[in-house]
Structure formats: C-alpha cells, structure tokens
C-alpha cells in the first residue's frame, strides 16, 4: 500500500510539473452579475485563447499551414469552444485573408470544431467589411470585434444571420446568455413552438450553442458571447519561469495569494483558474492521456499502469 501511495505521489508531482508548460495564468474572475450560464456548462467551456498569424505579411500557403496547425478538428462535439482571431497589426493580402477566413468559416459551418464560436478582431473598418462580406457569401457564422480588447459581448454577428437571429441574440444577451423555449415564449409573448423554432434556427446557423436536456426540461441555448466574455476579458498574470517552478517554493503561493488579494477572491479560486487555463490549452492531449490510462485499467495491465505512474517512457510496453 505504501508503495502504491508513493507511485501516486510521484504521479502527482509529475502532473504539477506539467503546469510549467502553461504560458499564462488567467487572472481570477467572477461571472458577470447578468450572466446566467449554468456552472456545469461554464466549467466545461474551452477557451482556446487569442491567436493570430503574426504581424508579418504571410503568403497564402503560409496562412493555410498555420490554419491547419492551429485549428484542429475536435472529436468531442458536445463541448463549447471559442477562439479570438487577432488580425490587429497584421499586414495581409486579400488572397491571404481569404485563405485564412473562408476555409476556417466553412469548417465552423460544418461543425468540424463542434459547437464553436469564432471571434475576429480587427481595428480596420475595411478588413471588418471584407470579413462580413466573406461570411455572407460563403454562408458561415462569424463574430466581429472592433478591437482585441473589446468585450465579446460587443461582438457583431455576421454571415447568414437573419433579423430573427438578431432578435434572439438580443434576448439571450439581456437574459444573461441562457435561453429556453419556455422563457423566450413568455418574454416575446409567442407560442412555445415558435420560440423553440427560433432558438433551434439560430443554433443551426451557428449563433447559439445547444445543450441537450430531457424532453420535459427542454434544451438550453447558450450565447457564447456571454459565456466566454469573462475568460477573454480577464487580465493575464505570468506564471514563474519553467526553471523556477516548484509547487513547494513560496513564489507560486505568493503569486496566487497576491492575485487573490487584488481580485478580491479566495486563493483556492485562483488555483482553480490556473488549472482551467492549463486544461483549456491542453484539452486534446489530456483527453488522449485519459484514454490511454483507461485502456490500461480496462485491460487489467497493472504493470503498464505502474510504469505510467512512475513516469517511465516505456509505459505502454507489454
């Protein structure tokens, strides 16, 4: 028993050391008072962060390669994801912009990334106009920001968005990001069937995420602008350098306590945000790890499991 406990301790240390790969710590934040996103939904949101091709003038082929590397299809279609594509300061030809936005938008439309939202930030009115035109022409959903620092709540939906979609989105924003057919029907004084159709249509076009529930409860619809706004707007506090990271040293504790004090929160909540940032950045690799361990357990391969817990490189050896 003591030996097995030691193995788990070493595995825990290994997991803690993995935190050194987190490039930033999302500063603690509270959901806005007007947000009604269910905690279980909020917990599973995957904020992929602020990404961009950089300030250089990439060629169309370079853009395509960056796109394929950065935006990988997801196997879990139930998780809500969001990216904020930063085009501020990027010098890009019309051809390169097309090769970046259109293939990405078409993948969003086809749900290659599950129920996801793409926000694109540009301080150029001309670029924003081009983005809207491409979204309309190629029939994919997009949310446009005037600035990278803008709140996601202020993002403008473009693409196949209808006037009814805009009305639904106005309602979900006012309702704190959450809607059900019953609530919309009551607020808009329409039938339950009409409300259900409006929400379903907006979800089908990619402007709302749907959370399926038992028929008697009714599905929930999430406005991803509201859901992801706190994570986008949070300040980012750098973690200690990799060579200095040691959970047993006081530096990490001081960082957590200082951030908690500045944000008026508990240190445990700050640490939870650290893990959330780590999981958001490493969701795919962590999923693969869980599957690997699950196979070891289901097959009863105790030796492989022990090697894995020790951190041996040959853990999968039979």
pLDDT for residue 17: 42
In a domain, 307, yes or no: no
Q: Is residue 61 part of a domain?
A: yes
Q: Where are the beta strands (DSSP E) in 33-145?
A: 46-51, 80-86, 115-121, 142-145
**Tokens representing residue 262 in the block:** 């500045």
pLDDT for 300 equals: 85
Which pLDDT does position 12 carry in this prediction? 40
- Provide the domain count of the chain: 1
For the record, the structure tokens of 138 come out as: 């190629």
pLDDT, residue 149, reads: 86
Q: What is the pLDDT of residue 305?
A: 78
CB 182 within 8 A of CB 195: yes
For residue 25, tell me if it sits in a domain: no
Per-block mean pLDDT, blocks of 10 residues, the chain (318 long): 41 40 35 57 74 75 86 77 86 89 93 91 93 96 93 95 96 93 94 96 95 87 91 57 52 72 65 60 66 83 81 56
Is 212 among the domain residues? yes
16 lies in some domain: no
Residue 201 lies inside a defined structural domain of this protein: yes
Cross-strand partners of 121: 86, 145
3-state secondary structure of 237: strand
The count of other CB atoms within 10 Å of the CB of residue 228 is 28
Q: Is residue 6 part of a domain?
A: no
Token pair listed for 165: 């979609």
Three-state DSSP class for 115? strand
How many other CB atoms are found less than 10 A from the CB of residue 181?
22
Specify the pTM.
0.64
Asked if the structure places residue 142 within a domain, the reply is yes
For residue 76, the enclosing domain spans: 30-233
Q: What is the DSSP letter of 240?
A: P
Give the pLDDT of residue 144: 97
């Amino acid at each position: 028993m003591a030996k097995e406990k030691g193995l788990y301790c070493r595995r825990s240390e290994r997991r803690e050391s993995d935190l050194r790969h987190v490039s930033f710590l999302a500063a603690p934040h509270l959901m806005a008072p007007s947000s009604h996103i269910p905690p279980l939904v909020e917990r599973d949101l995957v904020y992929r962060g602020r990404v961009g091709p950089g300030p250089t003038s990439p060629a169309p082929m370079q853009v395509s390669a960056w796109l394929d590397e950065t935006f990988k299809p997801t196997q879990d279609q139930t998780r809500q994801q969001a990216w904020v594509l930063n085009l501020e300061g990027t010098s890009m030809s019309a051809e390169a912009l097309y090769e970046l936005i259109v293939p990405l938008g078409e993948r969003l439309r086809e749900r290659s990334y599950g129920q996801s939202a793409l926000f694109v930030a540009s301080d150029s009115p001309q670029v924003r106009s081009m983005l809207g035109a491409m979204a309309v022409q190629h029939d994919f959903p997009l949310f446009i920001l005037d600035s990278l620092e803008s709140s996601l709540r202020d993002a403008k939906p473009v693409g196949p968005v209808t006037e009814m979609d805009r009305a639904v989105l106005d309602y979900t924003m006012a309702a704190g990001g959450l809607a059900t057919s019953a609530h919309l029907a009551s607020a808009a004084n329409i039938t339950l069937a009409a409300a259900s159709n409006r929400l379903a249509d907006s979800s089908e076009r990619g402007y709302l995420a749907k959370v399926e529930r038992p028929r008697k409860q009714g599905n929930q619809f999430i406005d991803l602008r509201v859901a992801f706004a706190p994570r986008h707007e949070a300040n980012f506090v750098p973690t200690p350098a990799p060579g200095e990271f040691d959970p047993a040293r006081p530096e990490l504790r001081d960082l957590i306590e200082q951030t908690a004090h500045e944000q008026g929160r508990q240190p445990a909540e700050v640490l939870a945000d650290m893990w959330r940032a780590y999981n958001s950045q490493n969701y795919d690799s962590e999923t693969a790890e869980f599957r690997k361990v699950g196979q070891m357990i289901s097959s009863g391969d105790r030796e492989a499991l022990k090697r894995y817990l020790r951190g041996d490189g040959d853990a999968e050896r039979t």
